[in-house]
Chains A and B, each alone.
Chain A
């Protein structure tokens, strides 16, 4: 389902720990257009809770959050 989503920015969050994955997403979301999508790859398991919480509180949207091989892959859409 997530394969046909156009990604506007790739964000490497590997190795970053709390709160940096969330901070980096927040710093970069304004660099894509409204409606644009960031694909972010983190290694911090805490990001699985934090990125959706960030999205909820800033009014943006997590299209998908998948656990890969030691990695957590997020598709984050800028809503406003």
Chain B
């Protein structure tokens, strides 16, 4: 076998979606890449921010608080992009995944932290949505901007937008 081919290989991913199915995709790919020896960067922006949030309420202004109330909670509140049915879809997929022994999103995210994946919140989205840095789980890096992500993406071998 040749030299370790994935030494210094890396993956840079934008996670814009907060949908359950897309977050599963994002974390499965990220964890798989980390297992294969790649350096992985996940840049969470807009609806994706909830994926790295604790179950706390956020918002300073009236709109921010409304946003926090309507789109609050943590990663376990994410609904599938299809068959949402006002929460029924989340419950149904949860049951189906549980019966097939698929890990939960929280377990997937914990594994990502354990594997040393770099998870970053987008500072601008955090400002707009009034989500402070202390609302994020442990293991998330300090917030960054698009310049940081673009540098990572430029240096990466794989770039994904989810």
Contact = CB atoms under 8 A, between A and B. Distances in A.
Interface of A: 15-20, 22-23, 25-27, 50, 53-61, 79-80
Going nearest first, the 4 A-B pairs with the smallest beta carbon separation are A59-B4, A19-B32, A26-B35, A23-B35
Contact of B32 (A23, A55, A59): A23
A26 B2 contact: no
B94 interface: no
A58 B4 CA distance: 5
A18 B1 contact: no
Interface range on chain B: under 10, 10 to 19, 20 to 34, or 35 or more? 20 to 34
Nearest to A19: B32
A78 B2 CA distance: 13
A26 B5 CA distance: 15
B4 A18 contact: no
Contacts of B103: 17, 20
Interface string B140-152: 0000000000000
A67 to B, nearest CB: 20
B126 to A, nearest CB: 29
